[in-house]
Amino acid sequence: MSVTAVVLAGGPGTRLRPFTLHRPKPLMPVVNKPIIDYVLDLLELSGMVERTYVLLDYMGELLEDRLRRERRAIEVVPITFKALGTADAVRRIRHALSGDFLVLMGDIITNLDVSALWNAHREKGAIATVALKDVENPSHYGFALLSHDGRVCSFIEKPRSYELYVVSLAMRAAHAKHSYANAVSVGVYALSYKLLDVLDDNPYLLDFGRHVFPYLVEEGYPVYGWYAESCYWLDVGTPQTYHQANADVLDGLSAPLRPPGINSSGVWMESVKELVGDVEPPSALGQGASVRAGARLGPYSVVGRDVVVEEGARVVSSVLMEEAVVRKGAAVINSIVGSGAEIGEGARVVQSLVEDGAAVPLSVHLTGALVLRERAQPREALERSGVGKARAATA
């Protein structure tokens, strides 16, 4: 079986700024591997995907360069253009598709069974099959209600609370399946080639969640939901979920998708430059990293490529991207530190975001701060975003 997949990787990732000011979101490193690599690993491991089109836009040249340098068992074809939405992007590559195909968002980490989704799609003869998972709060995702045979009878993108209530009542009255379930789209679809005709005939259908799926349901097309309850899935869209993604991958929740390097007693290690300090699992050390004498790292900390953690420094439940430096006696706790950033000697950074190339002066103590290249400022929004709440720890 030979299947074509389409990965949508063109969004600007505004909720992950300031880090996405310097890289597209699919290149955000999760345990020292870009998010897009986890998506492509999933397709490769399925054993059924032969070719994957990766559709790019924002900072597309950076991602395209990465994809062209990677060697994989599947063919990966990056294409860069401006699109008006997820469905519009697929519409624009119709010429490259010749049969039913898969669509995946390029900013998710999941180990769902792609083959099982595909088989369910073909068995039902659906025009679209949407992978679903129950979540506590469906208001941030595409929400689906199913009939007893698994057919989608209502689809609402990012519903308000009153919409959820009204639709649930209506579906319960109609004896719909899972009328109180919070089933949301995980951003993985199996789609019929016939759907491309629908997109061509209706150019105003620009986005799968906001336009295409509601339209198909209203017009009576066979749209089915496929539950992926046993799988791991995370939409990496905010500082909180980015922090959580790193912790989850360290915990092995995404297996068989794995970080680079070798796992040695719970520590993922590449070819480090220097390791004299203490590392508590689960943690990860990237290529060329240095953890010097008296430094303490972990648990739940990720040290990227060529990062330096100097003598007596402490890093807990944090992500240090490539070439960051933590000076002597400094502490980084429940934080995300961008590429090339520097934490000054004796400084203490707690539950904060430090932009690429930014510097925290020596002996400064920051909590809940957004540290930019020009300045550091308190940020109440960090408390709402929940940075550091996943696997929180204290020094």
Mean pLDDT value of segment 100-117: 95
* Secondary structure of residue 5 in the 3-state scheme: strand
Tens of pLDDT, residue by residue over 148-173, are: 887 887 767 655 554 555 556 555 55
State the pLDDT at residue 272. Answer: 85
Q: Is the peptide bond before 34 cis (omega within 30 degrees of 0)?
A: no
Mean pLDDT of 336-342: 97
Confidence class for position 381, pLDDT limits 50, 70, 90: very low
pLDDT digits (tens, 9 = 90+) for 53-72: 999 998 888 989 888 888 88
| pLDDT above 50 for 395 | no
Q: What is the DSSP letter of 177?
A: B
pLDDT band at residue 44 under the 50/70/90 scheme: very high
For residues 33 and 309, what is the distance between their CA atoms, to the nearest angstrom? 20
CA 154 to chain centre: 26
Q: Is the pLDDT of residue 144 over 90?
A: no
Cα dihedral 368/373/376/379 (nearest 10): -40
Placement of tokens 């590392």 in the chain: 279
User: Which spans in the chain are helix H?
Assistant: 35-46, 60-69, 86-91, 114-124, 161-173, 195-201, 213-218, 239-250, 380-385
Confidence check: pLDDT of 178 > 90 = no
Contacts with 65 (C-beta within 8 Å, 6 or more apart), sequence order: none
Residue 328 has pLDDT above 80, yes or no: yes
> For a pLDDT cut of 70, what percent of the chain falls above it?
86
pLDDT attached to residue 150: 78
- CATH tag for 3-235 (out of 3.90.550.10, 3.40.50.720, 3.40.50.300, 1.10.3720.10): 3.90.550.10
Cβ neighbour number for residue 50 with a 10 Å cutoff: 13
Helix axis angle, 114-124 to 35-46, nearest 10°: 60
Q: Residue type for 197, please? A: D
User: What would the DSSP string read from start to end of 19-45?
Assistant: GGGSS-GGG-BSSSSBHHHHHHHHHHH
Interatomic CA distance for residues 3 and 102, integer angstroms? 8
The residues spanned by each domain of the chain are 3-235, 258-385
**Would the pLDDT of 386 be above 90?**
no
pLDDT value of residue 60: 87
For the cut 50, the answer to whether the pLDDT of residue 180 exceeds it is no
Sheet holding 301-303, edge to edge: 262-264, 267-269, 283-285, 301-303, 319-320, 336-337, 353-354, 369-371, 376-378
Name the 3-class secondary structure at 104: strand
HEC profile for 317-347?
CCEECCCCEECCCCEEECCEECCCCEECCCC
What confidence tens digit (pLDDT) does each residue in 199-255 have?
999 999 998 988 999 999 999 999 999 988 789 999 998 999 999 999 999 999 999
Q: What is the arithmetic mean of pLDDT over 340-356? A: 96
Q: What is the pTM of this model?
A: 0.89
* pLDDT value at 177 more than 80: no
Q: Are 103 and 91 in contact (CB under 8 A)?
A: no
134: its two tokens:
């129950």
Q: What mean pLDDT, rounded, does the chain reach?
A: 87
Q: Which pLDDT belongs to residue 334?
A: 97
Looking at domain 258-385, its CATH architecture is 3 Solenoid (2.160)
Residue 388: its pLDDT value, please? 52
**Positive or negative torsion for Cα 13, 16, 19, 21:** positive
Q: Which whole number is the average pLDDT over 295-306? A: 95
Is residue 74 within 8 A of residue 52, CB to CB? The reply is yes
